[in-house]
Amino acid sequence: MDRRGAEADDRRVSPDHRNEPAGLEHARAQDRADPLARFRDEFHIPRRVDGREEVYLCGHSLGLMPKRVETYVLEELAIWKRRGVRGHFEPPRPWMPYHELLTEPSASLVGAEAHEVAVMGSLTANLHLMMGSFYRPTAERHKVLIEDRAFPSDRYAVESQIRFHGLEPASSLLVARPRTGEICLRREDLAETIEREGDAIALVLLPGVQYYTGEVLDLDEITRLGHARGCVVGFDLAHAAGNLPLALHDSGCDFACWCSYKYLNGGPGAVGGLFVHERHARRTDLPRLAGWWGHDKTTRFEMGPEFRAIPGAEGWQQSNPPILSLAAVRAALEVFGEAGGMAPLREKSKRLTGFLESLLRRELPEHIEVLTPSEPARRGCQLSLRIKTTDGRGLYERITAAGITCDWREPDVMRVALVPLYNRFEDAHRFVEALKASF
Ligand SMILES: *Cc1c(COP(=O)(O)O)cnc(C)c1O
């Protein structure tokens, strides 16, 4: 809708809203002018006990449920109910190759070729699988570079891999830290670490978006620097997939893993995703923790003893996948396709996040410090807010009672995400009003 259309709409606002603060009218006008606004209706928005819709700002943790998920999952349940094992082979969507329906939509979201992507497994397990093939420590080159605030599961996975090779995290884990008094990583410091330690680093394993601060790392640059020093480079894209446009193939990283239940809206514990760059597609020298679903499709059911990997990411599959979860993820990915993919979503996301940040700076400059970088290129949907009060937990509970869903990290950080598929400018406004009323 053009500006004039939006203004005309303004005059039609019902009299009930006349007394509300001007900021709310401004937010609503932006929602009316938003070409993606209709996608909110594709989702179930949780409701409070009084029946009003919540302000849901937790898409960084669990994305909301696309309405069509129910249909897609029920369809597969009905097939199981009526056909039993024949569901594996019969049209319209036989389960045997069902995961292939998700490959192209996933690949387009992360900027990969289809054969570089497999929708499979779960995030931590996939990280282990990737390290099984790509973390090959030698006496000289044995370190794994992670960051100080790495998500605990990633750190546990990396430390256990190091021990698995008979090494010690004390000497083989290299941790990149923000400077004293700072919370985000500086790209020049990361570059310096890779430059300085490069010869000893076997694997660089960093996030696309840092889960605690919302900081976006430069995947192209990290890959370039790591490769220049002979390191393998992998990424955890848990908070990047469905949040930012990605170009994994062009960035050239060796592998990446993500989950589907955060910005991808695939449902609790949904099947994850895996990227392996095509330069590794046909390598036979890599060790691999194999399973039958990674075996050549044409001979898989001959049930022979000798493993022959499918070229590409699918060759790392182990088990036949959970169809009910794949059905949910398939429905969720379809919504991204209909919205036009990551480019328009990212445009809206920048505006939403910028709007929220400006409201916070204007309305609560004394009470809130935004920890996430201000430059739009260095952040995605999430803002991490330091709440400056002695009673942060109490404040979090008060805004939760007021119908705001976000999350709280001790001692003083609130993480909120405005997700362009289902959040509105009005949500940003309501959140800030609730905060103001809760200090
Ligand atoms: C959400 C998240 C996880 C969760 O791992 P699961 O194996 O899916 O339980 C791991 N790492 C990061 C960085 C995350 O953000």
Query: What tens digit of pLDDT does each residue of 80-104 get?
Result: 999 999 999 999 999 999 999 999 9
- pTM to 2 decimals? 0.94
Structure tokens belonging to residue 308 = 């022959």
CA-to-CA distance for 196 and 230, rounded, in angstroms? 13
Confidence at residue 20, expressed as pLDDT on a 0 to 100 scale: 52
- Tens of pLDDT, residues 6-50: 433 444 444 444 455 568 999 999 999 999 999 999 999 999 989
Confidence at residue 11, expressed as pLDDT on a 0 to 100 scale: 40
Residue 261 CB less than 6 A away from ligand 1: no
Cα-to-centroid distance, 318 and ligand 1 (Å): 20
Cα-to-centroid distance, 302 and ligand 1 (Å): 36
User: Which position has the token pair 């949907």?
Assistant: 381
pLDDT at 3 > cutoff 90: no
Residue 256 CB less than 6 A away from ligand 1: no
Confidence at residue 23, expressed as pLDDT on a 0 to 100 scale: 87
CA-to-CA distance for 73 and 232, rounded, in angstroms? 38
Domain made up of 74-337: CATH architecture: 3-Layer(aba) Sandwich (3.40)
110 neighbors 246 (Cβ within 8 angstroms): yes
Count of positions (residues) in the chain: 439
As a whole number, mean pLDDT of residues 278-283 equals 96
Cα-to-centroid distance, 259 and ligand 1 (Å): 7
CA-to-CA distance for 65 and 422, rounded, in angstroms? 10
Residue 236 CB less than 6 A away from ligand 1: yes
Cα-to-centroid distance, 133 and ligand 1 (Å): 20
The rounded radius of gyration (Å) of the Cα atoms in the chain is: 23
Confidence at residue 22, expressed as pLDDT on a 0 to 100 scale: 65
Cα-to-centroid distance, 362 and ligand 1 (Å): 34
CA-to-CA distance for 64 and 41, rounded, in angstroms? 11
User: Looking at this protein, which amino acid is placed at residue 89?
Assistant: F
Q: List b or e across 92-107, with b for residues whose CB sees 16 or more CB atoms inside 10 angstroms.
A: ebebbebbebbbebbb
Ligand 1 atom having least distance to the Cα of 126: 7
Structure tokens belonging to residue 231 = 């390191």
As a whole number, mean pLDDT of residues 258-274 equals 98
In angstroms, the Cα distances linking 15 to 31, 319, 385 are: 19, 59, 35
Ligand 1 atom having least distance to the Cα of 238: 15
- Percent of the chain clearing pLDDT 90 (strictly above): 93
CA-to-CA distance for 300 and 315, rounded, in angstroms? 12
What are the domain boundaries of the chain?
3-64+341-438, 74-337
pLDDT at 108 > cutoff 80: yes
CATH of domain 3-64+341-438: 3.90.1150.10
Residue 124 CB less than 6 A away from ligand 1: yes
* CATH topology agreement for domains 3-64+341-438 and 74-337: no
Cα-to-centroid distance, 296 and ligand 1 (Å): 30
Cα-to-centroid distance, 257 and ligand 1 (Å): 10
Residue nearest to atom 13 of ligand 1 (CA): 151
Helices 323-338 & 68-83, crossing angle to 10 degrees? 150
- Tens of pLDDT, residues 371-404: 999 999 999 999 999 999 999 999 999 999 999 9
- Tens of pLDDT, residues 156-211: 999 999 999 999 999 999 999 999 999 999 999 999 999 999 999 999 999 999 99
User: Looking at this protein, which amino acid is placed at residue 318?
Assistant: Q
Strand partners, 118: 274
Q: What is the DSSP string of 278-342?
A: GGGTT-SSS-----GGGB-TTTGGGT-SS--BPSSGGGG--S---HHHHHHHHHHHHHHHHTTSH
- Percent of the chain clearing pLDDT 70 (strictly above): 95
Ligand 1 atom having least distance to the Cα of 151: 13
Mean pLDDT of the chain: 94
